Amino acid sequence: MQRMIEIDSPFFLKAEELAAPVDWTALFGNANPLALEIGCGIGDFIVRTAADNPGINYIAIDFYNKGCYKTCRRIENEGLANVRVVRDEARKFIAERIPKGSLAAVHINCPDPWPKKRHRKRRLVNREFAAFIREYLSPGGNFYFATDFDDYGLDVAEMMAGVPGFENMLAPDRYRHELEGYHLSKYMQKFMAEGKRIYFVHYRKASGG
């Protein structure tokens, strides 16, 4: 069994010690817009994105202890004040700790594709999840999904086109293989260096939603 790394970073939040829901304005000390990355890995995407957008507060969640530890170290090394890291399961954390209608953006980069057909029901992003996350986005809030797995990318692109309350920001395309201004994780860069493609999907919660 892998040993859990003790994370004593001031940027790490213990989920069980947080209020339900959290007053994120009080926690960050400002009323800046709030964004969420689900599955932050080792933090390369969130650190670069947060550095580019100091006027946005970011929550980075991951279920893997080592990834949370490395993300915190990256935040400290960059001297960022607008990111907090949490180790928790995504749906549980959102339902318990995020006020509905409060997220300006949600980023999901290369989640587990569960490639075997019998396991695909375990994929995070599906129609049910899209309807779920819509409730937590503010009107005009952005939903970004990226995957290196062809089947997953095509499935999500097709599925999102039929989910009510969202606007496709890539129209007339349902997905693209490049998204200008969107940072690539080291995992994405490695994958692309092998000649493979990333599928990007970008929707926004309708203003009247």
In a domain, residue 6? The reply is no
In a domain, residue 201? The reply is yes
Q: Encode pLDDT of 120-162 as tens digits.
A: 788 889 999 999 999 999 999 999 999 999 999 999 999 999 9
In a domain, residue 166? The reply is yes
CA distances from 75 to 25, 26, 59, 84, 166 (A): 20, 20, 12, 9, 32
Which CATH number belongs to the domain containing residue 39 in this structure?
3.40.50.150
Number of domains in the chain: 1
In a domain, residue 1? The reply is no
In a domain, residue 49? The reply is yes
Q: Which domain holds residue 196?
A: 12-205
Q: Which pLDDT score is estimated for 122?
A: 80
Q: Where would I find the H helices in 2-126? A: 24-28, 44-52, 65-78, 90-97
Catalytic residues: 112
Q: Which pLDDT score is estimated for 121?
A: 81
In a domain, residue 2? The reply is no
Residue 114 has pLDDT above 80, yes or no: no
Could you tell me where the beta strands, DSSP code E, fall in the chain?
A: 12-13, 34-38, 57-62, 83-87, 103-109, 137-147, 166-168, 199-205
Q: What is the mean pLDDT of the chain?
A: 93
In a domain, residue 4? The reply is no
Average pLDDT over residues 6-23: 94
- pLDDT tier, 209 (very low <50, low <70, confident <90, very high otherwise): low
Percentage of the chain surpassing pLDDT 90? 82
In a domain, residue 5? The reply is no
